[in-house]
Amino acid sequence: MDKFLEMKAFVAVVDAGSFVKAADALEVSKAAVSRHVAEMESRLGVRLLHRTTRKLSLTPEGEVFDARCRELLGGLDEAEAEVSSHSGEASGLLRLNAPISFGVLHLAPLWPAFMAQHPKVMLDVTLADRVVDLVEEGFDMAVRIGRLPASSLVSRPLTSTRLVLCASPDYLRRRGSPGHPSELAAHDVLTYSLFSMGEQWEFTGPEGAASVKVTPRLRTNSGDTCRAAALHHQGIMLQPSFLVGADLQAGKLVEVMPAWRSVELAVSVVYPTRKFVSPKVRVMIEFLVNAFGMRAWPE
């Protein structure tokens, strides 16, 4: 009697919604799957599945048992992977999520080197500024920018970036340069709609903490769109140094109110909590830590 085999059959039936599809997924006969589930119900003395001619559904006892089976089978998979990860070579599909601008500017140039170092790892990189659910959406890891909320994810710091208030020299010559956050109310402001602080911008300066409610001339969920508008002299924006650092260095943009600093944002790699880290995830973490450990964005 193989209890793990019975549990695999039961979970496969629940996932597939039928004994035939579960048998196909497990590459065994329908009779074998039916026998495993029937023997398990007989031994437990409870019915786990409601069976009709049209569909299957879990009984209340089946719902409890299904959750416990998944925990136990997941633990078995983790135990096997943990043992193999100590000596295993990094290989397989690695799904990674990252913010769009950061991914294009600072991650994309790194991937050729990673691919050359780890030829058996296949990369699937998805760029999105929304916060994805790693487990639900099937990602192995993600690069996140900002304050990390409490969660079951493990995080590893890579670097940090500062939000810089800036505008083009032409705009500041035309409209004047504010000296205090409160003066931003009289300016054309270009806002990034996904900031956690929204349009209540926060600063720390000579007089302590200050915040101002800005009214956007342009509101967008793209930092690159804010940057393009600012480079064309359309207003003042608050954007991370990783995005505008080169423009500041080249003089295309100028920092506004340098005595007033906005928030510093952590750049981290995050991955689901596990008792082990697979070789492909481990090598990517170390690769990114080494790549960004000494990075200083030009400002």
Residues forming a β-bridge with 237: 166, 190
CA dihedral 228, 234, 236, 239 (to 10 degrees): -10
State residue 291's pLDDT score: 93
CA angle centred on 64, ends 11 and 277, rounded to 5°? 60
Q: How confident is the model at residue 290 (pLDDT cuts 50, 70, 90)?
A: very high
State residue 132's pLDDT score: 84
Per-residue CA distances from 52 to 19, 23, 26 (Å): 12, 18, 22
Instruction: Indicate the domain borders of the chain.
Output: 3-85, 92-159+265-292, 161-264
Phi/psi-derived region of residue 293, left when phi > 0, alpha when psi is between -120 and 50, beta in every other case: alpha
Query: Is the pTM value of this prediction over 0.95?
Result: no
Per-residue CA distances from 274 to 140, 188, 278 (Å): 11, 47, 9
Low-confidence winner among 15-19, 53-57, 267-271 (lowest mean pLDDT): 53-57
Low-confidence winner among 49-53, 122-126, 164-168, 226-230 (lowest mean pLDDT): 49-53
Domains 92-159+265-292 and 161-264 share a fold: yes
Topology given in CATH for the domain delimited by 161-264: D-Maltodextrin-Binding Protein; domain 2 (3.40.190)
State residue 80's pLDDT score: 64
Task: State the CATH class of domain 92-159+265-292.
Answer: alpha beta
Residue 83 has pLDDT above 70, yes or no: no
Residue 215 has pLDDT above 60, yes or no: yes
Residue 85 has pLDDT above 60, yes or no: no
Q: How confident is the model at residue 275 (pLDDT cuts 50, 70, 90)?
A: low
CA angle centred on 173, ends 171 and 174, rounded to 5°? 65
Q: How confident is the model at residue 91 (pLDDT cuts 50, 70, 90)?
A: confident
State residue 159's pLDDT score: 92
Residue pair 126/96 in contact by the 8 Å Cβ criterion:
yes
Residue pair 61/47 in contact by the 8 Å Cβ criterion:
yes
Give 138-152 pLDDT, tens digit per residue. 889 999 998 877 677
Give 175-208 pLDDT, tens digit per residue. 999 999 999 989 999 999 988 888 999 999 998 9
State residue 248's pLDDT score: 96
CATH architecture of 3-85: Orthogonal Bundle (1.10)
Low-confidence winner among 202-211, 221-230, 235-244 (lowest mean pLDDT): 202-211
- Mean pLDDT, the chain, rounded, equals 88
Q: Which residue has the higher pLDDT, 32 or 52?
A: 32
Average of per-residue pLDDT across 293-297: 65
